Amino acid sequence: MKYFGTDGIRGNCGQYPITPDFMLKLGWAVGKVFARDGHCKVMIGKDTRISGYMFESSLQAGLSAAGVDVCLLGPMPTPAIAYLTRTFHADAGIMISASHNGYQDNGIKFFSAQGNKLSDELQATIEAMLAEPIECVSPADLGKSKRINDAAGRYIEFCKATVPSSTDLKGLNIVVDCANGATYHVAPQVLHELGAKVSSIGVKPNGLNINQRCGSTHTSTLCQEVIAQKADLGIAFDGDGDRLIMVDHRGETVDGDELLYIIAADRQRRGVLNGGVVGTQMSNIGLEMGLQKLGISFARAKVGDRYVNALLEQLGWQLGGESSGHIICRDRNSTGDGIVGALQVLLPIQQTGKNLHELKQAMFKMPQTLVNIKLQHRIDLTKYPAIGEQVAKLEARLGNTGRVLLRPSGTELLLRVLVEGEDRELVRQYAQQLARDISNILA
């Protein structure tokens, strides 16, 4: 598609299509697509980057021109938009965010009335509408806008309701890093109201510091804080709050694969797993092998939480996620939710008395090296048989306890080269050599 990538539309603010005029047209196109059966309502939320104000206004104007009513939610986590779209019985939800990227970028994520990411077909329909000239509805039919002032409170209560009412986190000392992003006024409050002792960092957004050396992609400060405060654990969210990484009491990071394993093992222990687990092509093979030992089925989807969600729906399973920290509990929310995912990990800590470090030890994470190759343009790997030959040779060396994955990025001109295996140093060498070989083939 021309505009939509792995997760909506994203790019550098001020560079097409991340411009006010495009967002105006996008709002109108979305409004025309969703209002085909009559008048409709769309929810708009945003993270804390400064350009969110500009794009919120542009989208609002475009939607109004298409005759669509708008509910403005203000700074809210992405999963809150999915939840509130459902509970307000809206026709669609829009989140203005570039996720874990810096403030220089921005983007748009969309949700259906059911709180799911849009299908490829619906995205294609929106792109087709973008090619049409804007035609404003009559003045009497223009969409109206209003602010939902209690959006944060509604979402806080929702998050608390995703764990049993008996859940009491009293005695847990938790450091929370909100990445100066959309969870800054929500996540600490949820944990505090459930009884935890909470210390917060990354909760002073100024429009320019979102994800800046903080959050789920920069956990070094959180690791230091956990150790300095002798906390039980740390929780890091990304800028829009749809994913998390945790830190144990020793200052060691616990990634999405390990968190997914902990939740799956706990749900199996309690007899509420209801199916298997969905990961992605990037999920560590150690997760697959660990779940296999527990007798839990595992399936891989394409990279992107909407593909994980689609496969979960297809299989009738409830639990899935990505290494990056997207955790989807379909019996709790319709999309990846950092706060809900964190609470699902805190449950076994509270109920079993084991700490986060002990729980993650049950899964052996295979050494993994990821190398990014910069591309001049998007490529079709099937047109380079020599690359396939190099991959086959390396996979033969790795055997059953290793694997190789090549994946073009959905948002950048990069080819990601992933190698896994039992020997960390060999894996590193193999990945670097394969990347060099591929670069030479593409040159």
Find out whether the peptide bond into 20 is cis, omega within 30 degrees of 0.
no
418, 361 Cβ separation under 8 angstroms = no
415, 405 Cβ separation under 8 angstroms = no
Calpha distance 311→231 (Å, rounded) = 37
Using only C-alpha atoms, the chain has a radius of gyration, in whole angstroms, of 22
Which residue from 45, 158, 41, 151 is spatially nearest to 96, judged by alpha carbons? 45
Query: 420: helix, coil or strand?
Result: strand
Backbone angles phi, psi at 269, to 5 degrees: -60, -40
Calpha distance 220→31 (Å, rounded) = 42
Contacts (Cβ under 8 Å, ≥6 apart) of 404: 391, 394, 395, 398, 417, 418, 419, 420, 434
Calpha distance 213→201 (Å, rounded) = 11
Calpha distance 333→79 (Å, rounded) = 8
Question: What amino acid occupies position 402?
Answer: G
Q: Strands 145-147, 197-201: parallel, antiparallel or unpaired by DSSP? A: unpaired
Calpha distance 68→144 (Å, rounded) = 7
Query: 15: helix, coil or strand?
Result: coil
Q: Which two tokens stand for residue 83?
A: 């939840």
Residue 216 is among the residues annotated as catalytic for this protein = no
| Annotated active-site residue in 99, 112, 200, 323 | 99
Calpha distance 126→337 (Å, rounded) = 26
Provide DSSP, 238-250.
-TTSS-EEEEETT
308, 434 Cβ separation under 8 angstroms = no
Query: 24: helix, coil or strand?
Result: helix
Q: Which residues are catalytic?
A: 99
